[in-house]
Structure 1
Amino acid sequence: MSPARQAGHAARPPDFSAHEFRASLGMFATGVTIVTARAPDGALIGLTANSFNSVSLSPPLVLWSLAHHAGSMAFFRNGSHYAINVLAADQQALAERFAARGIDRWNGVAFSEGGNGAPLLDGAAAVFECFNRSQYTEGDHVIFVGEVERCSHRPGASPLLFHGGRFYAEHPL
């Protein structure tokens, strides 16, 4: 039990709608990632996620989250490794493809195999190859914390950004 709950404190019920909450969250610009893995039977797993963040430099930890109802949840819950591919500005089509349902997401997608077996997408701005270190269930999502075993980046690559329901490329101020 959290210390706040032990002391008799709890959050007040929200005074806003789910739509207002989503719209407010959309004001936080994020990068766009595709989380990839290889299932025990060799099948390729991949999905678009913008819930990526750093956690720690020592040890090197990152996090991302996945909705409970996601079709790939069972694999990520039980799998030992995955890769987080930070998309470059010219990879919007990949972000849309890996967010779509009912299609072969991997058809024609160029990738190499990472050291832990997870697919690494060609052209990504950065890649983090992770051990599935820990998981935390919160609300309607599971937060995955990955311990980074390998990482790389493409010097000079501009990241793909997402804000207010639309994709953007960076423009320095």
Structure 2
Amino acid sequence: MARTSSPKQQKPAGKAAASVPLDIDQQLCFAIYSTMLGFNRVYRELLKDLDITYPQYLVMLVLWERDGLTVGEIAERVFLDSPTVTPLLKRLETAGLVSRDRSPTDERQVLITLTDAGRALRKRTMHLPQCIVEASDSDLAELIELRDRLLVLRERMSRKAG
């Protein structure tokens, strides 16, 4: 009678052949997730005086790059869906940082534009990237290399998730 190996003994094929234990500290996803929690704590402190949250800061970064985007364009840029971005935009509007207006060419679309206060906020955040470098206790070149490697990984994962 032929013996079959148990699922525990079977080795996966291809690139996955190098086995990674199922310990939480060995998981790439957990390393990224827990690092993001650390980033959130640092940003929470940095953004406290500006009275915006980290997701709101991301939206503002997008608008500082290119003003007058639709809700969908902003959502795509920050990797969130429109129903998640809409409440952020409403709070930013309430804070006087953006205005939300229907597109004159397509009533179904809402255009988001910076107010004078929203443009002025940019100047108050110029120091934040340096604060992140300092908080990481790393040099800038190391962080740029890490960011670039993560962007490649994000692209690969996005293609697989499809």
The TM-score with structure 1 as length reference comes to 0.24
Please identify the structure whose Cα radius of gyration is greater: 2
Structure having the higher helix fraction is: 2
The TM-score with structure 2 as length reference comes to 0.25
Higher relative contact order (CA 8 A, sep 6+): 1
Structure having the higher strand fraction is: 1
